[in-house]
Chain A
Amino acid sequence: MSTVSRAADRIESVPFLTRDDASLLLVLPGLFVFSAFMLFPVFYLLGISFTNAEPANLFAGEGVVAVLTFGDALFVGLENYADVLTDGQFWNSFGVTWLFVATSVTLKIGASLAIALVVTSDLVRGKRVLRSLIIFPMGLPPIFTITVWRGIFSSAEFGLMNQLLTAFGASSVAWLSGRWTAFVAYNVTEAWLAYPFMVIITVSALQDVPEELHEAAVVDGAGFLARFAHITLPSIKRPVLFASILTSAASFQQFLIPFVFNQGGPARANELIVVYGYREALSFQQYGRGAAISIIALVFIGAFMWLNVKKGKLADGVND
C-alpha cells in the first residue's frame, strides 16, 4: 500500500474528514508558497506603514528579531496615512490612476473587439496566419516593448509618432513632456500591450457563436450592425467581460509604462498610484509613507477584485 493511500486511510479515521479530503494535501504546497511570498509581505507592508521606517533604521540589526521589530523603526500610528491623505500629490495620483483605468480599458476593449472581428470575418482568407501574427507581441518582454514605445513617442523630431504627424502635415509634438500628451501615450501603449490577450479570448468566444443565429438574422434582413448588437455581443459578453475585468485590474496596477516613459512625469503629474508608492519608498527613501500608499492601493485593488468576482460572477466556475 502506498504512502498516499495510507495517509488517506489515516485521514478517514478522523471524524469530519472524508477520504477525499486527503486531496487537500495536493493543494496545500502551492497555497503555502503563495501565502508565504504574497500574503506575508502584505502584512509586513502593513506593519511598515505604521512606522517611520527608512533604510537607516529599518535595516538596522539582522535576523528574525530585527524582522519582527522592523529594525529600529518607531511606531508612529496613523501618521503616515494622515500625511498621505492630506497630500495633494496623492489625490492627483489617485485621480490619474482611475482616469487611466477608464480610458485605457475603453480603448483596449474597443480596439480588441475590432481586431477580433477583422480576423474572424468570413470575408478574410488566411485567418490562421493573421491570428498567429497578431499574438506575436505577447511573446516579447514588456520591458522591451515599452522602451520601444518610448522611442516611438520620443519628443525628438524623428520619433516614429512625430514622423507620422509630419507626414500628415501636422507639426511634431513633445509627447512625453506634456501632461496629457504623455497620458495619451500611456493609453496607446497599454492598449497595444494588452491587445493580444484580449484578442485571443474574444476570438475564441466569437468562434463559439452559433453560425445558424447569424444565418437566421441574415434571412430576416438584419444588417451587420444589428447582428453585431443582437447576436454577437450577447454571445461573447461573458468572456469579454472576464477579459475586461482582468485587463482593468492590470491597468490599475500599471507600473512599467509610466516608469519607463518618464518616471510618471512630467513633474510627477502622471504617477499612477503604484508608481507613486514605489517612488516615495525606493526613490525618496520614505518607506513608511510608501508602504502607506501601497496599502491604500492594495485596499482599492482588493475591493475592486472582490466586486468583480461577486458582481462579474467570475467565481461561477467554483460552484460546480
Chain B
Amino acid sequence: MLLGAIARKLGDDIKTFATMPARTVRKWSYTVQAVRRGELPASEVLKVILSTIGATLVVLALLFPIYWILMAALSGSGSSLYTSESFSLLPSNPTIKPFIWVIGDLIVPSYSISAAIPFTDLAFVFQTPGIEILDASDYGVDRPSEFKRFLWNSLMVAIPTVLIAMSLIVPAAYALSRRKFLFRRKILFLYVLMTQVGGGLGVALLIGMYALYVQFGINDSKLALAVYYAATAVPFNTWLLKTYMDGIPVSYEEAAVVDGAPPWRVVTEVIIPMSTAGLATVFIFVFLTGWTEFVVAQTLLGTENYTLPVGLYAMVDEYSIPWARFSAFALTFASPIMLAYLFAQRYIEGGLSFSGMEG
C-alpha cells in the first residue's frame, strides 16, 4: 500500500518531468503575447530572463566538478586527466570503455541439471543455455574491475544497516512523538546532543573501536559494521522522524480511536502512511550511511570484504589517479543513489523542514 502510493507519486513526477518542455513553451508564449499586448512591460521580462540565466549559471558552476569528472570518464583517453591539451567541454573521442571495465562480464554460465528417475538407469540431463549479456573482452577490456564483488559487499552491509536502523528508529520516533514517559526528555536531549555528531566522532572513536573489534574478532565482519552504522544513524534519524511525526495532527488518530481501532492499527493505518515523507528521508539517510561511509569500513574490513567506497579509494595511488576508470567506477556506484535522490527530493525537503525548529 505504501509502495503503491510511492509508485503513484513517482509516476506523477515522471509525467511532470516529461511534460515540462511543453508547459514551459506554453508559458513563454503567454508571456510573449502579454508583452505584445502591452500588459507586461518588456523590461520586467528581460529582468526575469537575465536573472534566470544568472541563476542557471550559478547552478551549473556548482555542478561543474561532477560534469568534469563525467567527461573524464567518457573521454577515457588514458591514465590521467593531466594531458597536455586543456579541458574541453565535450570529450574529443568519447568511449564507454571505462564503464565496460567497471561492469566487467555479465555472463550467466550454463548449468547442467540432471534428474535421475529412481529404480531405473534412465536419467535426464538438461543443459541450461548460457546467457551472455555483456562480454568485456569484446570491447578490448581484459581484466575488468572487481566492482561486482564490492557491490555485493556493499549490499551486504547496507541492507542489514537499513533493516536494523529502521526497526530501531521507527518505534522510538513514534513513542517520543506521541507518548509521555519516564526519561523522555532526557533521551531526547541526548539525541539532540548527538545529532551534531557526524562521522567525525566515529573517526575519533576509531582507535577504541578498532581495538575492541580486533579483540572480539569481529573487525572483518560485515554484519558488525552494519550494526555500527545503524547505531550511528539512530540519534539524528530518530529525532528527525520524531519531528516529522509531531507535524501530523493528533486528531487523525483520535478519529481512528473513536472508530474503535486498536493501537497497532492506529500506527499502521494513520501514522505510517502519513509519515511517508519522513520515512523516505530517514530511509535514504540510513542507506547512504552504510553505502558511502569510508573511514571506518577501510579500517575494519579486510581486502576480501571491501565495500564500494573502499574499493574506489583503493584505486587512488599516491601520485597518480587513473581518472577515467576512477570516475567511471564512482559514477556507476553513485548513479542509482543520485536517481533515487532526485525522485525522493520532495520527501527529503519535506522531511528536513524541521517544522519543530521554528518558534
Which residues of A approach B to under 8 Å, CB–CB? 2, 4-5, 17-18, 20-24, 26-27, 29-31, 33-34, 36-38, 40-46, 48, 53, 58-59, 62-63, 66-67, 70-71, 115, 118-119, 121, 123-127, 129-145, 147-152, 154, 156-160, 163, 192, 195, 200-201, 203-204, 208, 238-239, 242, 245-246, 249-250, 252-256, 259-260, 274, 277-278, 281-282, 287, 290-291, 294, 297-298, 301, 304-306, 308-309, 314-320
Contacts and interface: CB of A to CB of B under 8 A. Distances in A.
Nearest to A272: B200
Contacts of B309: 141, 143-144
Given A204-B349, A256-B294, A139 B337 contact: yes
Interface string B228-244: 10111011001000010
A33 B230 contact: yes
B2 interface: no
Given A123-B47, A301-B197, A139 B323 contact: no
Given A274-B203, A317-B243, A21 B228 contact: no
Nearest to A281: B207
A62 B215 contact: yes
A23 B175 contact: yes
Nearest to B337: A139
Contacts of A127: 55
Contacts of A144: 309, 312, 330, 333-334
A164 to B, nearest CB: 9
B180 interface: yes
Interface of B: 20, 24, 27, 47-48, 51-52, 54-56, 58-59, 62-63, 65-66, 68-69, 81-84, 86-87, 164, 167-169, 171-172, 174-176, 178-185, 187-189, 192-201, 203-212, 214-217, 227-228, 230-232, 234-235, 238, 243, 246, 263-264, 288, 291-292, 294-295, 299, 308-309, 312-313, 316, 321, 323, 326-327, 330, 333-334, 337-338, 340-342, 345, 348-349, 352-354, 356-358
A305 B194 CA distance: 8
B206 to A, nearest CB: 6
9 contacts: A20-B179, A31-B234, A126-B24, A147-B312, A160-B87, A163-B87, A204-B354, A291-B207, A318-B188
Nearest to A60: B215
B264 to A, nearest CB: 8
B204 A298 contact: yes
Given A24-B182, A27-B175, A126-B52, A41 B235 contact: no
B201 A132 contact: no
A204 B277 CA distance: 15
Contacts of B323: 151
Contact of B207 (A24, A140, A149, A287): A287
Given A192-B65, A242-B357, A298-B205, 16 more contacts: A30-B169, A33-B234, A59-B214, A119-B59, A143-B292, A144-B333, A147-B312, A151-B69, A158-B86, A158-B87, A239-B357, A253-B197, A253-B201, A259-B295, A315-B189, A318-B188
A36 B231 contact: yes
Contacts of B203: 253, 255, 274, 278
Nearest to B57: A118
Contacts of B199: 253, 255
Contact of A67 (B175, B216, B246, B352): B216
A145 B207 contact: no
Contacts of B345: 131-132, 135
Nearest 7 pairs between A and B by C-beta? A253-B200, A45-B208, A37-B231, A139-B341, A123-B51, A141-B292, A23-B179
Most chain-A CB neighbours within 10 Å: which of B215, B313, B342?
Answer: B215
